[in-house]
Chains A and B, each alone.
Chain A
Amino acid sequence: MTTEYHELLTLCGFEPDEIQQQRHRIETTFQRLNLVAGDMDRAVSRLRTYFDIELKGVRKVLGTWLKELIDLVMARDEGKKLIYYGYPPFQYMGLVIKKASEAVGDFYIACPEVILCETLGQIFGKLNPVLEAGEAGGLAPGHAMCSLLQIKDGALSLGFIPAPDLSISTSYFCDMGPKADELMQYKHGGYPVEFVDSCMDSPWGEWPAYDPQRIHYLGQQLEQLFSALQDRFGFTIDETIWTEARKLAGPLYAATFRLNKSLTADPLPLGAADAQLILNLPMGCTGIALKEGAEAIEIMAEELEKRVETGVGVLPKNAPRVLMGFPSFVDPALNRLIQDVGLAVPVHTTLLTPPPLPESPKTYKTLGEKRSVVAMHGGLYHSSFGWIGRIKRGLDYTDLDGFLYTYQYSCRPLTCNSKLMKEYVEKEIKLPTLLLDMDMYDDRNYSAGALQTRLEAFAEMLKTKKK
C-alpha cells in the first residue's frame, strides 16, 4: 500500500528516504491497526480541512505523532520492554522512568492511549472501533466511563498495542483509572500494575496549604514505586535522575515556551486545533517526540513569529480571547469550531503559568516527599479547590475576555468541581465563563455540531461585550 500512505506521510513531513527505510514498520503498524487505503485518503482530507498545514511545523508535529504511534505498535516486535503510565501523568514521571531506563536496556515508555488519541483520533478519525471494544470489554457505555480508558482497553483487546510489562496507575488522582487497570490486568494476561495512592481529602479553601501527613503518605507511595521499578527492572530513581529527566524534554519545553510567546499576539497566529497537537507531546511520550517534536515546534515557532511580525492571524484582530479548559484530544473539528465561532485561545488551563513554587520544607527528606510537595502546589492533585485556585491564580498573569471551561464529563475528579469552577471564577474574578461538558476522547456524543449553538452564543456575548 506504498502509494496510499505516501501522500499522508509526505503531508506529515516524512522525507522520501525515511518512508523507504521505515516501510516495513509503517506497513506493519497500519496493517495491525486496520488502516487501509480509504483511511489514508480520509486522513489527508481531515488534515487539509482542520489543520493549518500551510505551516511546516504543524505538518512535522503531525508526523512526530505518527512516528510515536509506529514505535508504540512495534515496541514488542522490536524486543523492547514496555512501561505504560496513566493520564494525567504524575508530573513528568514518564521521563524520569525513561531516564532511569537508559542505563539498563531498551524500554518503550509512554501513555499509549494519548498517542492513539492524537493519531487514530485526530489524524485518522478512526477511534470508534477501539472505543466500542473498550465498552464491550467492561467499561460500559451509558455509565460515564472514561473514554480514554476505553481506548486503552479497546486497543489492548484488539491487539493494536502490546500488553505492557508494567502499568502505572493514576491512583493519585482518580478512582476509575486504577479500577480499569485492574480490569485490563484481569483480561490481558495479568501484567503487573503499580498504584501510587493519595488521599485528596483537603477541605474546601485549604489550598495552597496542606496537611503534612498527605506529603508523607504520597511520598511513601512514590518511594514504593521507585522500589518496585528497582526490583523489577533494576532502575535507580534519585534526585539526579529526576533532574536529568527534565533535561530530556528541555528542547521540547524550550520550543513550546518560544511558541507560546507568539500566542500572546493579537491577532492570534495559531488556531486551537493546531495548538492542541503540542499539548500532549511531553505528557504522553518519552521517545522520538522529545527530539523530533522539539524540532517541529521550533519550526512552528519561527513560522508564527513571522506571522506576528506581518500581522497575520487566524482570527481578526481584537477577537475575544478565552482561556480554554481542555481541548479535544481526538476531534480537530471541535477544536477548529472554537476558532470558527471567533474565539481566540491563547492558552489552556494545563498550560497556565503556575504560581511560584515555594521552597520545599526541610522536614521532607525523601525524593517522594519532595515531589509530593510540588504536586500539592500544582493544585490538580491537591483538591477541587486546589485546581480552581490554581486556575484563578494563573488568570492573574493573563489578560482574557472569558473562560471556556470545557471539561471531560466522565472524569469524576473534574465533574466533581465543574459547576463550582464556573461559580467561583465568575464570582471571584468576574470573568464570563461557559461551562461546557464534553468528551475529549470520544466524539460520538459530543460532536462539534452538538456544541456549536452554545459556543456561538458565548462567542457573540463576548464580542458584544468587547465592542
Chain B
Amino acid sequence: MEPLNRIKSLLADRPAQLKHKKTQDKKIVGYIPGGYFPEEIALAAGAVPVGMVRGGEHSAVENAFACVDHWVDTFYRSQIGYATSGDDPYYNLIDVLVVPITDSNNRTLSDTLSYYTDLELFVYGVPHTKSKEGRDYFRHGLAKTADKIAGLTGIEITGQRMTEAIDICNREKELLRELSQENQSGNTALSPKDYVLVNQASMLLDKGQFIENLETLIRELKAAKSGDNKKPKVLLTGSTLALGDDKIIDLLEEYGATVITGEFAEGIKPFQHKVEPAEDFMNALAETYFMERVAPAWFRPGHELPEHLIQTASATRVDGVVWYQLMYREAYKILSHYFPEMLKKETGLPVLTLDSDYDPAETGQMATRIETYIENIRRQP
C-alpha cells in the first residue's frame, strides 16, 4: 500500500527532517509515550512533539546498566540506554524531555537522565487515583508544562492556537480509531505489525503529513479485500509495546494468529477520546488525558483496566488474550496473576502471559508457548 510505504519512508527520514527543523529554530519536545502528554500543548506552543517510543533492543538495555540497576522496567532501562549512548537520533535532537511521572519505573528514567546527561528534563505527576483532586493535580502539571514549552519557544499559547492544535489531534485520534476498527474487525489488508507501526508513527511524524497519509491509507484499507479471517484471533495487551519491539507480533503471526492490538500503558497512542471544546483548555485536556484514558495497571483501585479488557475481548469476539509485559513492571506482573481468572469467569477466554526483557535468548521459549497456546485455541470446539 502506497500510503503505508510513505509513512515508513517518512519515519526513516524523520531524524533528518527534525534536524532541519532545528536549523529553522524549531523546538523539539520529546515525551514519554504513556498517553499522559497532550501533544496539543507542544503544537499550540509552536514546538514539535516527538514520542520516545523506540525499544525492543537488548543492547540499549545493557547500556543502561552503567547508570541504573537491573530491576527496573525494560522499556525505561532501554530509554536510559538510548539517552546515555550519545548516538540516538532522537535523544540527540530534543530540546526538552517531558516525563509525566506515572510510577517508580519512569521516575527512575527522569532521575537518572537528570544526573547522568545534559538533557533538559521536565516532569509532572500523574496521580494514581481517578478523582476530582487527582484530575486537578494532573491539570496543574499540564499547566506547568504549557508554561515551560511556551517559555522554550517564545510563543504564547493562545486560545486560537490551542483550538487549532486540539482540532488536529482530534482528527488524528478519529483516524486512529477508524484504523483500529479495521484492525479489530479482522481486516488483514494491513498486517498487525503495520497497524502498530502506524499508531506509533503518529507520535513521531509531522501531524500534517501523517494525517494526510493516514486518510489515504484508511480509504485504501476499506476498499481492500480482507484476507483469511478464519485464523484464531487474539487480543494483544500489556505494559509496553515499543517501536521496534516486533518479536511478539511476529511470533503470533508465525504461529497462525490474527492479532488485534488493545490497551498498552506505553507505546500505543490512546485514541478513544477526543478533547471536547471548553473554555478552560487545560481542564478539557485533563479530562481526556487523565479521566478518560483507560487507567494503567498501577492505578489504585485498579479495576478499570481489567474491566476494559474484558469488555474489549467480548466486543471484538477474540479467541484469547495475550498479555505481554516487560520485566519488572510490577503492577502488570501482579495483575497478570489474577486477570486470567477474571477473564475466564466473564468470557471463558484463555490468557497467555509473556514476559520480555528484549533479550534474544527468550525468543525460543516464547515461541514454544505461543505455538502451544494457538494450537490449544484451534482445538477448542
Contact = CB atoms under 8 A, between A and B. Distances in A.
Contact of B101 (A139, A174, A199, A205): A199
Interface in A374-425: 383-385, 409-410, 412-413, 415-420, 423-424
Determine which residue in B112, B115, B338 has the highest number of CB atoms from chain A within 10 A of its CB, and name it.
B115
B356 interface: no
A143 interface: yes
Interface in B98-156: 101, 103-105, 107-108, 110-112, 114-115, 121-129, 133-134, 136-137, 140-141
Interface stretch (B68-76, B85-93, B359-367): B68-76
Given A175-B103, A203-B110, A204-B111, A140 B300 contact: no
A383 B327 CA distance: 23
A27 interface: no
Contacts of B125: 199-201, 214
A145 interface: yes
A204 B129 contact: no
A201 B123 contact: yes
A205 B114 contact: yes
Interface string B337-351: 110000000000000
B335 A416 contact: no
Contact of B133 (A140, A143, A187, A220): A220
Given A182-B300, A186-B338, A145 B72 contact: no
B123 to A, nearest CB: 5
Contacts of A418: 69
B101 A145 contact: no
B309 to A, nearest CB: 15
Given A169-B300, A175-B330, A183-B337, A419 B69 contact: yes
Nearest to A206: B123
Contacts of A180: 334
A216 B110 CA distance: 23
Interface in A68-118: none
A423 B115 contact: yes
A197 interface: yes
B139 to A, nearest CB: 10
B127 A412 contact: no
Nearest to B335: A179
B129 to A, nearest CB: 5
B232 interface: no
Determine which residue in A137, A182, A183, A205 has the highest number of CB atoms from chain B within 10 A of its CB, and name it.
A182
Contact of A416 (B72, B327, B355): B72
A203 B337 CA distance: 34
A213 interface: yes
Given A175-B298, A217-B133, A384-B107, A138 B334 contact: yes
A420 B330 contact: no
Given A199-B127, A420-B111, A183 B67 contact: no
A410 B69 CA distance: 10
Interface residues of B, number: 46
A401 to B, nearest CB: 25
A417 B105 contact: no
A213 B142 CA distance: 13
B227 interface: no
B104 A175 contact: yes
A412 B105 contact: yes
B318 interface: no
Nearest to A181: B300
Nearest to A137: B337
Given A182-B302, A412-B105, A416-B108, A176 B334 contact: yes
A195 B179 CA distance: 38
Contacts of A174: 104
B338 A178 contact: no
A452 interface: no
B137 A175 contact: no
A310 to B, nearest CB: 44
B104 A183 contact: no
Contacts of A169: 300
B328 A197 contact: no
B333 interface: yes
A437 interface: yes
A104 B133 CA distance: 30
A203 B334 contact: no
B301 interface: yes
B331 interface: yes
Contacts of A195: 128-129, 300-301
A10 interface: no
B127 A217 contact: yes
A197 B121 CA distance: 24
B217 interface: no
A205 B111 CA distance: 9
A415 B68 CA distance: 8
Contact of B302 (A179, A214, A424): A179
Nearest to A410: B71
B101 A201 contact: yes
Contact of B298 (A144, A179, A415): A179
Nearest to B126: A199
A176 B338 contact: no
A416 B338 contact: no
Determine which residue in A182, A199, A204 has the highest number of CB atoms from chain B within 10 A of its CB, and name it.
A199
A339 interface: no
Nearest to B68: A419
A437 to B, nearest CB: 7
Contacts of B327: 143
Given A171-B128, A183-B338, A203 B137 contact: no
Given A144-B71, A201-B125, 8 more contacts: A140-B333, A143-B330, A178-B298, A182-B334, A183-B337, A197-B300, A200-B107, A202-B123
13 contacts: A138-B334, A144-B71, A144-B328, A171-B129, A178-B300, A202-B123, A213-B140, A412-B104, A412-B108, A413-B107, A415-B69, A416-B107, A419-B68
Interface of A: 137-140, 143-145, 169, 171, 174-176, 178-183, 186-187, 193, 195, 197, 199-205, 211, 213-214, 216-217, 220-221, 383-385, 409-410, 412-413, 415-420, 423-424, 437
